[in-house]
Amino acid sequence: MIRYKFSYKQPHRHFIDIEMRISEHIESELTLQLPAWRPGRYELGNFAKNIQSLNVLDTKGNPLKFEKVTKDTWRVFTPNVRNVVVKYNYYANELNAGSTYLDEQQLYVNPVNCCLYVPGRIEESCEVHLNVPDDYEIACSLEKKGRHLRANNFDQLAESPWVASNSLKHKIYQVDAVFFHVWFQGKCEPNWSRILNDFKAFTIQQMEDFGHFPVSEYHFINQILPYKTYHGVEHTASTVISLGPGDELMTDKLYESLLGVSSHELYHTWNVKQIRPKSLFPYDYSKENYSRMGYLYEGVTTYMGDLYLMRSKVFTKTQFLKTQEENLLKHFHNGGRSNMSVADSSFDTWLDGYVQGIPNRKVSIYTEGALCALMIDIYILQKTNGQESLRDVMTSLYENHACKSKGLSEEDLVHELVRFGGDSVLRTIEDHVYGTKDFRKSLDEVFACVGLRIQESENRDFFASQMGLKGVIQRGSFVVKQVVLGGPGDELKIAEGDVILSVEERDVTKEVLGSFKGKKQLRMKLERRFETLNITVDFSNQKYYPMYTIASVKAPTSQQNFLRERWVDALK
């Protein structure tokens, strides 16, 4: 057994003291590894940068010689030493759904950030002791006895975050024999009746389709923050969600976000925690785990999370279509869609993470993956006359791969999708998952199958619509973040990072820009890295960055109505 102890002395300094005890060691050397990444975030995390000091001792307190051999690996020399004590501290001053954080209010730990492990002994059970105040409650999916937590192996430990605090709010709901815990840490006033009813509704729908829940209990651990944030991370038997601002929790917009991310993360319990690409089966925490299947584990999950909210009547059809409109907007406003497929973008999360990166390079495994999932779902419904859907594919993958402890290859996935959906699905995979063909024709086709159509309208944002520029207004200036290639801004040699200081010698505000509607020419002052220029912009009738809505066709056929109902309805 590997034992860990978490304690701290000055929580305002954000340093956690961690002690690791390794018994029954028999080799002359010992390797200690800190995870290089965390599941749910397919990029290198460099967590070792948060370790300030590290010491290795025998059980009598004698120091042992050790050396650092990689950025997150240490070699300890252990001649005739059977029991080893590792003492180190970890700086915990980042608060999001995948981080570790300490202050006077809580000890929040994602063990994958900060728990060293011994390669070759990851299957051993792990025990954690938390030295926290007596009035602290612990939100965690691990087996718990008092201040002690127990994991069957390191993988379970790494996948089991906890919050220890005296201000946790907690309720439970049950579906079949499974207990679902909902925790809130932070200042908020949850409407428990509404939350539990809605959570139970989408949980029932997901469980009915899969027919089985992989774990005996599940924990929604919500970090509610005083500022705007939205983030969720999946784990085998829990999720951590960061959301804010807390005083807006039950307002329509933020509550929709809570439902959306919660349904998404619950779906991950099957999709990626169980239905897992071969390259992630098992996880190798020491290095990159490359996969081109991000469209499955994030794209399908994004789409299905929203679909189940609609099918369970937690979301209206209008609310669901709004989520798809947001995906359309993100997709068509991203110039990277012409340069890199969603499959290759999945592979390259290990290169440049989840940030935009250089202009027009890549796409999102969430957004483009979700649109591909939508297309595949409707094509399957069309081919089977509403009898089968992408939900049946996912159930098949769960039963034939996850339940048999088999990793999923790209070939396995494509074969199963095509088996259900035929040539139209194969074309979608070739053109849009692994290719960079324009989505519009295929989207128009699938929406028509269910009696819907995409409508475009002019963007109300002046710079976006008139000049092909997206950015932010800051202190009376406009900072350029994105440029349409070949648009007016690009023709004037405006680039990302440039700043429009004034328009017609006036500060840049929404109100000022609104007064220029219909103008054919405007004077602007532009600041670049090394120069400030006065430019004149001549406007044409062409508009850029249009907005997208999804509407019903004027006279849907009976077949369109039938397929739409099969798509959206579950509860009768």
- Cite the residue boundaries of each domain of the chain with CATH code 2.60.40.3650: 2-165
Instruction: Label each residue of 120-141 as H, E or C.
Output: CCCCCCEEEEECCCCCCEEEEC
Residue 95, classified by CB atoms within 10 Å of its CB into exposed (0-12), middle (13-18) or buried (19+), is middle
- Residue reference for tokens 């499974």: 178
Phi and psi at residue 352, to the nearest 5°: -130, 20
| CB distance 376 to 417 below 8 Å | yes
The strand ranges marked E within 200-283 are: 217-224, 229-234, 238-244
pTM above threshold 0.85: yes
Calculate the CA 144 to chain-centre distance: 28
Q: Looking at domain 2-165, which CATH architecture does it have?
A: Sandwich (2.60)
Question: Which band of pLDDT confidence, cut at 50, 70 and 90, is reported for residue 471?
Answer: very high
Give just the sign of the alpha carbon dihedral 212, 213, 214, 217: negative
- Return the structure tokens found at 512: 């000022």
Rounded CA-CA distance 124/105 in Å is 32
First to last CA, the chain: 51
Residue 175, classified by CB atoms within 10 Å of its CB into exposed (0-12), middle (13-18) or buried (19+), is middle
Q: At what angle do helices 367-383 and 390-400 cross, to 10 degrees?
A: 100
The reply to whether CATH 3.30.565.60 applies to domain 270-451+555-572 is: no
Pick from 428, 358, 420: nearest CA to 388: 420
Provide the H-helix boundaries in 47-167: 111-114, 154-158
Q: Within 10 Å of residue 440's Cβ, how many Cβ atoms?
A: 12
pLDDT of residue 572: 45
In single-letter form, the type of residue at position 308 comes to: Y
Question: Which band of pLDDT confidence, cut at 50, 70 and 90, is reported for residue 379?
Answer: very high
Phi and psi at residue 58, to the nearest 5°: -90, 180
Rounded CA-CA distance 287/230 in Å is 27
Query: Mean pLDDT throughout 96-116?
Result: 98
- Return the structure tokens found at 61: 């307190």
By mean pLDDT, which of 13-22, 489-498, 562-571 is the weakest? 562-571
In single-letter form, the type of residue at position 495 comes to: A
Reduced to 3 states (helix: H, G, I; strand: E, B; else coil), residue 47 is helix
84 strand-pairing partners:
22, 58
Question: Which band of pLDDT confidence, cut at 50, 70 and 90, is reported for residue 518?
Answer: confident
Pick from 289, 433, 439: nearest CA to 365: 433
- Cite the residue boundaries of each domain of the chain with CATH code 2.30.42.10: 462-538
Give just the sign of the alpha carbon dihedral 402, 354, 184, 153: positive
pLDDT of residue 356: 84
DSSP states along 533-562: EEEEEE--S---S-EEEEEE-SS--HHHHH
Rounded CA-CA distance 399/405 in Å is 10
Question: Which band of pLDDT confidence, cut at 50, 70 and 90, is reported for residue 355?
Answer: confident
Task: Report the CATH fold assignment for 462-538.
Answer: Pdz3 Domain (2.30.42)
pLDDT of residue 571: 54
pLDDT tens for 520-549 read 999 999 999 999 999 999 998 899 999 999
Pick from 95, 102, 172, 170: nearest CA to 131: 102
Q: How is residue 176 annotated by DSSP?
A: T
- Cite the residue boundaries of each domain of the chain with CATH code 1.10.390.10: 270-451+555-572
Rounded CA-CA distance 264/244 in Å is 18
With the CA atoms of 421, 423, 424 and 429 taken in that order, what torsion angle do they form, in degrees rounded to the nearest 10? 90
Rounded CA-CA distance 267/210 in Å is 10
Q: How is residue 245 annotated by DSSP?
A: -
| CB distance 66 to 76 below 8 Å | yes
pLDDT tens for 177-227 read 999 999 999 999 999 999 999 999 999 999 999 999 999 999 999 999 999
pLDDT tens for 256-300 read 999 999 999 999 999 999 999 999 999 999 999 999 999 999 999
Task: Report the CATH fold assignment for 169-251.
Answer: Zincin-like (3.30.2010)
In single-letter form, the type of residue at position 339 comes to: N
Q: How far is CA 391 from CA 303, 388, 416, in A?
A: 11, 8, 12
Q: Rounded mean pLDDT of the chain?
A: 97
